Amino acid sequence: MKAIHLIAPSGASLDDKSPLAGIDWLKRQGIAIENAECVQRVHERFAGSDEVRLNEFNTLATLNPQTLVMAMRGGYGIHRLLPNIDWTGISKAVASGLQICGHSDFTAFQLGLLAKSGAITLSGPMLNYDFGKIDDTGKAIEPDGFMWKHFQSAIQERKLDCSVSASQVFLANSGGNKLTGMLWGGNLTVLAGLVGTPYLPSQQQTQNGILFLEDVNEHPYRIERMLMQLLDAGILGNQSAILLGGFSAYRLYDNDKGYSLERAIEAIRKRLPESIPILTDLPFGHQANKLTLPMGAQATLDYSPSGFTIKASW
């Protein structure tokens, strides 16, 4: 990995220090940073006007195919750009070797590209949080070692290999098994917002897939509601397995009276076909220790009541 081309397609940076700290750390690893000026853009809540951010997206089709593209941060903003993205040009660049990485709001672009072309992108770290996180005193926090290891494996070897040791209580009657399917998903709120649009991969594309989901700042009842939407839309029942990553930074209320994220998952489990396992503790989401997952690649999942292993090469 010699260079990273930054893009800022969603929200403006919430502070000045995070992107600069991330750029500094990456440069100290011997990585050249391209388009660094994008981290300074501000237009309302966005990292630039729609026109500027759209042009930055469409420029990806012209980059050196050996380039790694990384989003600055998430937030919101990509959905309004979807109708005018050069899906064909970008997918051709990916086929030639271009790698594109991000998560959170970036899920909208990744799912759109997968729906339009089948091109594989990377659901993984972004500049601000993962490489430029700042503590309460304004000091930069060293990037997570697990994240960095798996990010390098994905970028340099195009390989995913991770084992999770955690009790799995939502298997129903699926017990344990080994299966293969297309790995896809991302941020739950963003994915649910694409249901019924041409930017969500079709049920034919995702049939017998391995769906991974995560979210942040969403109370369990909202998570349950979005999962119910995916269930009633026929999406969850179309999968071979469902992997749940981090659902973080929410708080429960007095009137929840025992209701929790576990109760929300149980409600989905009761309605989901028992042959489809729901696996938890996937190290992915708005958290430091995250995998880099190949969105759209074929993956192998081996699971049991004591944990699971997921592997892919692309």
> Are 73 and 128 in contact, with CB atoms under 8 Å apart?
yes
Residue 82's Cβ-side half-sphere holds a number of Cα atoms within 13 Å equal to: 24
Identity of the residue numbered 160: L
Residue 226 tokens read as: 């979005």
* Known catalytic residue at 5: no
Three-state DSSP class for 81? helix
Residue 202 tokens read as: 């079709």
* Known catalytic residue at 286: yes
d(CA 312, CA 150): 12
* Known catalytic residue at 167: no
Which of 56, 214, 218, 224 is labelled catalytic?
214
d(CA 98, CA 155): 10
Q: Which residues pair with 70 in a beta bridge?
A: 6, 101
158 CB-near residues (< 8 Å, 6+ apart)? 294, 313, 314
Which of 5, 103, 150, 286 is labelled catalytic?
286
Which of 18, 104, 123, 240 is labelled catalytic?
104
Tell me which residue has tokens 């004591």.
Answer: 306
Three-state DSSP class for 145? helix
> Are 46 and 56 in contact, with CB atoms under 8 Å apart?
no
CA distances from 268 to 68, 148, 180, 292 (A): 37, 33, 23, 26
Which positions are catalytic? 104, 214, 286
